[in-house]
């Protein structure tokens, strides 16, 4: 059978942003055929967003710069046709749903672009009904977009794009700010649109496990160049290639890569969980399972509680009960991760630690003192806070000014400001960038600037709210490596995250929140295997945990493994070695 005709053709495309010396895209030649679901992968700065923006002409028509080669979408040259016309063929959905929603109701949001194109009223009504059903938002027509969850907002953005009846739907990291349920919703809708309506989908994403499941083809970009194109089954088993380009393979693929490397050939590496489970069956039939010895759970830190909540309840002014009797103690020197679905109450809880919110009932204690006895300034010296979006905390014209800002305004002597600023810049590797404007830095570096500003105050407790959101694997690890170093220095670290697979190397204790209550407070290894509790707050454990649970049918008892390295170690004589098969230090 003839392959479907290309919808998009890149012919030797290169592009340089204005004043840039290095191309953001270099010699890209590529076809995207009608009906494909294409995953676009690459580290931060690889050129994924630029490539997406070329498809409706925003690059270069909006940005300017130098453009080489030719791109056609549905036969239209993107340099010769206005973006308004290209937008009828290419629907775009970006990372942050908040920045895309402008109307006062769900149906108005869908209607907005159609009204601008003078589509007849009855046709607009018909399309609203149709697209809201397609993204499973029917019944929400009159809701204000701000009342929707993160996943619903992103689905609304997709609906608004879909209403234009695009031949190509481009989604640029649409799930990076969503919890696992939101992520699943967006992928499922994109998949449905692709399979049932024939919409061609191009999705840039770091969600390797999901892309392995849904994409028909992957495009790997690195430094603006096309490195590899192929199906997930062809790309994701190339672990070394992915690692060379700072990408994370699905955990199931990495697990079997390690098993293969240890001398147990398993054939083609599975990239999806169900394939991995089947491969485990074959493997266990061939060789003996030797579970690695798991060290006992680490003991909790000694000493009095540094951060405490006592029967904490909080109700927002609109009547929403966000916290419903939370009690906990965090001791000095602990590294705690707080997990839970969007809306579980995580951010509301940590805002109480900073006295950005005051309890409706109950109390919060820092060092044994009620937070109501502190001023916000006093608390800022003891509790540092790094928010999800670093740009919300950056407002100075240089990195140095940003890091020293709070010190200057809290009245520290000039010599101490200089010393603390330098020390903080050095600790975060920002000395060379101290005179640069923070907006000239990458997102990862901007996050480090905020962290440096917090560190300059030398707080006892450091809270990071979704620090890995929007970061690629390398960026996320580099931020978490800093938290590990701070923890080693004796700081108390509290991290809120949805990225469960990242935390075994770092955290020791997990607080699972759901519907404003504390569902579980347990050591990390124990918590990750409480699948019912995780499920109650719509969290999915990492694939390695699911592989471990599956392996238990071949084992005498519970395995409680956390990482691909630990699962692979079950098939490696001699157990776990330090190095490539290392058990994470924090949980060992």
Partner 1 sequence: MSQEILGAERKVKAVGGVAIDGAPVAYLIALAAAVAALSFIPFSVILAAGGSFPLSQGIYALVGWILGPVAGGIACGIGRLIGVFVAPHTAGPVPLASVWGAAIASFAAGAMSTAREEGAPRRDWWWIPLSVFFVMEWLLFVGRAVLVNGVSVQVALLNTFVNWSAILLYVLPTRTLIARLIGSRNIAALAAGLFLGTWMIAGLSHLSVTVILYYILNWPPEVWATLIPIIPMENLFRSLVGTVIGTGVIAGLRATELVRPRSALY
- Name the site residues for partner 1 (rule: CB under 8 A): 11-14, 17-20, 23, 26-27, 57-58, 60-70, 79-85, 225, 395, 397, 436-440
Smaller CB distance to partner 1: residue 65 or 584? 65
Q: How far is the CB of 18 from partner 1 (least distance, A)?
A: 6
Q: How far apart are CA 274 and CA 255, in angstroms?
A: 14
For every residue of 108-120, DSSP letters joined together read: HHHHHHHHHTT--
Least spacing, CB of residue 325 vs partner 1, in Å: 40
CB of 97 to partner 1, least distance (A): 18
Give least dist CB 390 to partner 1, A.
14
Q: Which is nearer to partner 1, 16 or 132 (CB)?
A: 16
Residue 171 preceded by cis peptide, ω within 30: no
Q: Give whichever of 50 and 348 is closer to partner 1, judged by the CB atom.
A: 50
Nearer to partner 1, 85 or 376 (CB): 85
- Least Å from the CB of residue 247 to partner 1: 17
Contact 30, 209 (CB under 8 A): no
Return d(Cα 486, Cα 424) in angstroms, integer.
12
What is d(CA 186, CA 179) in angstroms, rounded to the nearest whole number? Answer: 11
Pairwise CA distance, residues 561 & 570, whole Å = 10
Q: Which 8-state DSSP code applies to residue 268?
A: S
CB of 232 to partner 1, least distance (A): 23
Shortest Å, Cβ 439 to partner 1: 4
Cα torsion through 488, 489, 492, 495, rounded to 10: -60
Cα(195)–Cα(458) distance, integer angstroms: 54
Whichever of 244 and 372 has its CB closer to partner 1, that residue is: 244
Q: CB-wise, 447 or 493, nearer to partner 1?
A: 447
Nearest distance in Å: CB 77, partner 1: 9
Distance in angstroms (rounded) separating the CA atoms of residues 355 and 475: 30
- How many residues are there in the chain? 588
User: What secondary structure letter does DSSP report for 324?
Assistant: E
DSSP 216-231: SEEEEEETTEEEEEE-
CB of 96 to partner 1, least distance (A): 15
Find the shortest distance in angstroms from Cβ 12 to partner 1.
3
**Beta carbon nearer to partner 1, 436 or 536:** 436
At 566, is the secondary structure helix, strand, or coil? helix
Question: How many Å apart are CA 583 and CA 588, to the nearest integer?
Answer: 6
CB of 217 to partner 1, least distance (A): 21
Of residues 11 and 275, the one with the C-beta less far from partner 1:
11
Q: What's the CA gap between 327 and 144, in Å, rounded?
A: 34
Q: Are 217 and 194 spatial neighbours (Cβ–Cβ below 8 Å)?
A: no
Please check whether residue 527 is in contact with residue 496, taking contact to mean a CB–CB distance below 8 angstroms.
no
Nearest approach in angstroms of CB 444 to partner 1 is 16
Long-range contacts of 585-588 (CB under 8 A, 24+ apart): 585/505, 586/298, 586/335, 586/484, 586/504, 586/505, 586/506, 586/507, 586/508, 586/524, 587/298, 587/504, 587/508, 587/523, 587/524, 587/525, 587/562, 588/295
Helix (H, G, I), strand (E, B) or coil at 278: helix
Beta carbon nearer to partner 1, 397 or 410: 397
Q: Which two tokens stand for residue 359?
A: 């309890």
Q: How far is the CB of 255 from partner 1 (least distance, A)?
A: 31
Rg (CA), the chain: 25
Q: Closer CB to partner 1, residue 17 or residue 550?
A: 17
Between residues 29 and 320, which has the closer beta carbon with respect to partner 1? Answer: 29
CB atoms within 10 A of CB 282: 10
Q: 58 or 464: whose CB is closer to partner 1?
A: 58
Determine the Cα–Cα distance for residues 528 and 540; give it in Å rounded to an integer.
9
Give the residue with the Cβ less far from partner 1, 81 or 581: 81
Least separation in angstroms between residue 442's CB and partner 1 is 11
Order the strands of the 305-315 sheet from edge to edge: 321-331, 305-315, 361-366, 369-370
Looking only at the bridges linking them, the beta strands covering 200-204 and 168-172 are parallel
Q: How far apart are the first and last CA of the chain?
A: 54
Q: Which is nearer to partner 1, 17 or 130 (CB)?
A: 17
Q: DSSP secondary-structure letter at 96?
A: -
């Amino acid at each position: 059978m003839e392959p479907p005709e290309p919808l998009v053709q890149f012919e030797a495309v290169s592009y340089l942003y204005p004043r840039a010396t290095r191309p953001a895209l270099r010699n890209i030649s590529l076809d995207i055929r009608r009906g494909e679901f294409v995953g676009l992968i690459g580290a931060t700065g690889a050129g994924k967003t630029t490539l997406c923006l070329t498809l409706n002409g925003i690059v270069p028509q909006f940005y300017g710069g130098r453009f080489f080669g030719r791109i056609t979408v549905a036969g239209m040259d993107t340099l010769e046709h206005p973006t308004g016309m290209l937008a009828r063929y290419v629907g775009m959905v970006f990372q942050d749903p908040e920045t895309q929603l402008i109307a006062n109701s769900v149906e108005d949001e869908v209607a907005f672009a159609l009204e601008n194109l003078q589509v007849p009223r009855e046709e607009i009504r018909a399309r609203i009904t149709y697209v809201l059903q397609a993204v499973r938002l029917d019944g929400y027509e009159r809701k204000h977009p701000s009342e929707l969850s993160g996943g619903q907002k992103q689905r609304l953005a997709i609906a608004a794009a879909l209403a234009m009846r695009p031949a190509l739907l481009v989604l640029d990291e649409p799930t990076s700010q969503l919890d696992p349920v939101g992520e699943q919703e967006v992928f499922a809708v994109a998949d449905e649109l692709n399979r049932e309506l024939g919409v061609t989908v191009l999705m840039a994403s770091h969600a390797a496990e999901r892309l392995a499941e849904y994409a028909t083809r992957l495009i790997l970009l690195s430094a603006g160049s096309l490195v590899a194109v192929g199906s997930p089954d062809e790309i994701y088993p190339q672990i070394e290639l992915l690692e060379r380009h700072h990408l994370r393979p699905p955990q199931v693929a990495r697990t079997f890569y390690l098993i293969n490397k240890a001398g147990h050939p398993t054939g083609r590496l599975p990239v999806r969980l169900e394939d991995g489970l089947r491969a485990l069956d074959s493997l266990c039939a061939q060789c003996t399972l030797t579970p690695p010895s798991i060290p006992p759970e680490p003991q909790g830190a000694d000493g009095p509680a540094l951060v405490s909540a006592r029967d904490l309840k909080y109700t927002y002014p609109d009547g929403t009960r966000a916290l419903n009797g939370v009690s906990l103690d965090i001791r000095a020197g602990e590294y705690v991760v707080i997990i839970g679905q969007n809306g579980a109450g995580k951010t509301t809880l940590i805002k109480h630690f900073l006295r950005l919110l005051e309890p409706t009932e109950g109390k919060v204690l820092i060092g044994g003192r009620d937070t109501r006895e502190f001023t916000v300034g006093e608390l800022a010296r003891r509790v540092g806070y790094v928010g999800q979006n670093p740009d919300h905390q950056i407002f100075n014209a240089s990195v140095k000014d940003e890091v020293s800002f709070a010190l200057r305004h809290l009245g520290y002597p000039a010599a101490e400001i200089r010393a603390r600023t330098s020390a903080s810049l050095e600790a975060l590797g920002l000395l060379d960038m101290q005179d640069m404007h923070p907006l000239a830095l990458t997102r990862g570096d901007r996050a480090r600037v905020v962290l440096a500003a917090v560190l300059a105050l030398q707080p006892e407790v450091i809270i990071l709210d979704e620090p890995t959101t929007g970061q690629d694997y390398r960026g996320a690890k580099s931020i978490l490596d800093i938290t590990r170093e701070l923890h080693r220095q004796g700081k108390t670290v509290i991290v809120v995250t949805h990225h469960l697979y990242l935390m075994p190397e770092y955290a020791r204790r997990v607080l699972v929140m759901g519907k404003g209550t504390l569902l579980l407070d347990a050591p990390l290894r124990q918590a990750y295997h409480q699948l019912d509790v995780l499920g109650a707050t719509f969290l999915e454990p990492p694939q390695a945990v699911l592989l471990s649970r599956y392996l238990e049918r071949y084992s005498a008892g519970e395995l409680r493994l956390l990482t691909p390295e630990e699962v692979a170690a079950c098939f490696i004589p001699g157990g776990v070695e330090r190095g490539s098969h290392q058990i994470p230090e924090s949980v060992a």
